[in-house]
Amino acid sequence: MASIEVGGQTIELDEEGYLIDLGSWTPEIGTALAKEEDVELTDEHWDIINFLREYYEEYQIAPAVRVLTKAVGKRLGKAKGNSKYLYSLFPYGPGKQACKYAGLPKPTGCV
């Protein structure tokens, strides 16, 4: 099984690099998961990651990209609520990539 070392602890990941134990997530793990893919997380990334975690907390699902885009637009303003902006932050797909760093499962319906 895949895993990653964070602060001396071994964190287990599934075959696609998502956390096995969603409850074990910390911001440090998020940073480490991003680093694995050569991504340096900025405040803009964290806005989206934190938003996803709140959404998951409330609805128990990771939203589809379309839903994420609409919701971000409502919360953080139109300038950020579009797929161009979200893809500029998460080029592998805002759902897939941001959910991974946020320690959430891959969004339902995401291939």
Partner 1 sequence: MATKKFMFVNRKAPYGTVYALESLEVVLISAAFDQDVSLAFIDDGVYQITKGQDTTTIGQKNFSKAYKALGDYDISKLYVEKESLAERGLTQDDLMDLVWEDEDDDWAEKSSIIIVSREEMAAIMAEQEVTLSF
List contacts with partner 1 (CB under 8 A): 58-61, 63-64, 66-67, 70-71, 74, 108-109
Range 103-106, long-range pairs (CB < 8 A, 24+ positions): 103/19, 103/22, 103/24, 103/25, 103/29, 103/30, 103/33, 103/53, 104/18, 104/22, 104/52, 104/53, 104/56, 104/62, 105/18, 105/22, 105/62, 106/16, 106/18, 106/62
Instruction: In angstroms, give the least distance from the CB of 70 to partner 1.
Output: 7
Catalytic one among 2, 20, 22, 110?
A: 110
Tell me whether residue 91 or residue 109 sits nearer to partner 1 (CB atom): 109
Least distance CB 104 / partner 1 (angstroms):
13
Min dist. Cβ of residue 31 to partner 1 (A) = 27
Q: Which residues are catalytic?
A: 110
